[in-house]
């Protein structure tokens, strides 16, 4: 197949560094989301995933915050993309673990499907707010409740599952949790702790799951600042795909991907053809 990638990709590839593991973003890389449906697979992403399972190491590092890992994996399987549940990393279980370790009592502003991860955590007299998915049923009443909990705290703390500005749905870009975090921060002056990309703590979950050094890993994503820039800041290489929320004007932003490819399959093929070096 023919590769179409940016000028960087052609140069000096053969003496690039070894790529031993792949972290893949899910939405906008494996599939595109459609409101109230499973969405639609991105061409050849299923083949790319199969190929990586067979020839390399792969984990899926997503900021998806509305569904459990099981349901994220099942949705992908329904789209013909064979992702194993145990290889999916999403913020909700990581946030729950963080609350346990730091003895936090969260006010939960999250979707029902991820509540299971918070089983057994004390949520009485909350000392932080945990905010997840904003799509659907996100009413003034709910955000105002979170606001009142925060404004009553001596040191308000808001933990968000990612701080994205928007996510791409097939019908257009949709405002993401980061905007509502900014809203609550403006009104309560709370501290915002992001547990999701691009936070280092969250990328480390992916690095640890692969069990290798960051230098050996490439992160593939559609969000230049969060996926690519965030991965690079952790010592990984960042690959931009021209799917999902990618925009031509990304070139003006202050992050330069290690590789830009039209889609996941192209990126994987290019690296594989180069002897798993980049």
Partner 1 sequence: MSKISAVLIDLSGTLHIEDLAIPGAQAALELLRQHAQVKFVTNTTKESQSLLHKRMIKCGFKIEKNEIFTSLNAARDLIVRNQYRPFFMVDDRAMEDFEGISTDDPNAVVIGLAPEKFNDATMTQAFRLIKEKNASLIAINKGRYHQQKDGLHLGPGAYVAGLEYAAGVEATVVGKPNKLFFESALKTFQDDVDFSTAVMIGDDVNDDALGANKVGMRSILVKTGKFRDGDESKVKNVADSFVEAVDMIIQNRVNM
CB nearer to partner 1: give 151 or 212: 151
Q: Which stretch binds partner 1 (CB under 8 A): 21-29, 52-60, 96-104, 170-178?
A: 170-178
Nearest-angstrom CA–CA distance, 260 and 201: 25
Determine if 174 is a binding residue for partner 1 (CB under 8 A): yes
Determine if 53 is a binding residue for partner 1 (CB under 8 A): no
Determine if 115 is a binding residue for partner 1 (CB under 8 A): no
CB nearer to partner 1: give 13 or 175: 175
Determine if 136 is a binding residue for partner 1 (CB under 8 A): yes
Count the helix, strand and coil residues of the chain and give each as a percent rounded to the nearest 5. 40, 20, 40
Count of residues that interact with partner 1, criterion CB under 8 A: 28
CB nearer to partner 1: give 53 or 138: 138
Shortest distance in whole angstroms from residue 254 CB to partner 1: 13
Determine if 135 is a binding residue for partner 1 (CB under 8 A): yes
Determine if 173 is a binding residue for partner 1 (CB under 8 A): yes
CA 44 to chain centre: 20
Q: Could you say which of 182, 256, 262, 272 contacts partner 1 (CB under 8 A)?
A: 182
Residue with tokens 């449906």: 37
Determine if 34 is a binding residue for partner 1 (CB under 8 A): no
Pick from 12, 77, 19, 15: nearest CA to 239: 19
Question: 157-160 and 191-194: which strand pairing?
Answer: parallel
Q: CA separation (Å) from 39 to 75, 147, 167, 175, 186?
A: 9, 32, 13, 18, 34
Shortest distance in whole angstroms from residue 163 CB to partner 1: 9
Q: Could you say which of 140, 248, 252, 254 contacts partner 1 (CB under 8 A)?
A: 140
Q: Within 222-241, which residues bind partner 1 (CB under 8 A)?
A: none
Q: Which residues contact 236 (CB under 8 A, 6 or more apart)?
A: 23, 203, 207, 214, 215, 217, 218, 219
Q: Could you say which of 134, 219, 241, 278 contacts partner 1 (CB under 8 A)?
A: 134
Shortest distance in whole angstroms from residue 274 CB to partner 1: 36
Nearest-angstrom CA–CA distance, 227 and 103: 29
Q: Could you say which of 185, 242, 256, 274 contacts partner 1 (CB under 8 A)?
A: 185
Nearest-angstrom CA–CA distance, 130 and 105: 10
> Where do contacts with partner 1 occur on this chain (CB under 8 A)?
134-136, 138-140, 143-144, 147-148, 151, 165-166, 172-176, 178-180, 182-188
């Amino acid at each position: 197949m023919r590769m179409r990638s940016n000028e960087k990709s052609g140069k000096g590839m053969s003496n690039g560094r070894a790529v031993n593991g792949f972290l893949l973003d899910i939405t906008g890389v494996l599939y595109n989301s459609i409101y109230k449906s499973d969405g639609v697979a991105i061409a050849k992403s299923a083949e790319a995933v199969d190929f990586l399972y067979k020839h390399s190491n792969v984990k899926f590092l997503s900021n998806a915050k509305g569904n459990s890992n099981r349901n994220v994996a099942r949705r992908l399987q329904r789209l013909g993309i064979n992702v194993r549940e145990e290889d999916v990393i999403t913020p909700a279980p990581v946030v729950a673990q963080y609350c346990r370790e730091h003895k936090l009592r969260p006010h939960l502003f999250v979707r029902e499907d991820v509540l299971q991860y918070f089983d057994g955590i004390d949520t009485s007299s909350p000392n932080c707010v945990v905010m997840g998915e904003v799509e659907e049923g996100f009413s003034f009443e709910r955000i105002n409740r979170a606001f009142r909990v925060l404004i009553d705290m001596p040191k308000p703390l808001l933990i968000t599952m990612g701080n994205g500005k928007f996510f791409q749905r097939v019908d257009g870009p949709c405002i993401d949790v980061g905007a509502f975090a900014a809203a609550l921060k403006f009104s309560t002056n709370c501290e915002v702790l992001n547990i999701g990309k691009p936070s280092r703590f969250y990328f480390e979950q992916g690095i640890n799951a692969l069990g290798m050094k960051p230098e050996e890993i490439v992160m593939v994503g559609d969000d230049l600042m969060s996926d690519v820039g965030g991965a690079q800041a952790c010592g990984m290489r960042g690959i931009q795909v021209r799917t999902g929320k990618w925009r031509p004007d990304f070139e003006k932003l202050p992050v330069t991907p290690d590789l830009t490819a039209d889609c996941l399959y192209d990126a994987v093929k290019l690296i594989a053809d180069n002897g798993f070096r980049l």
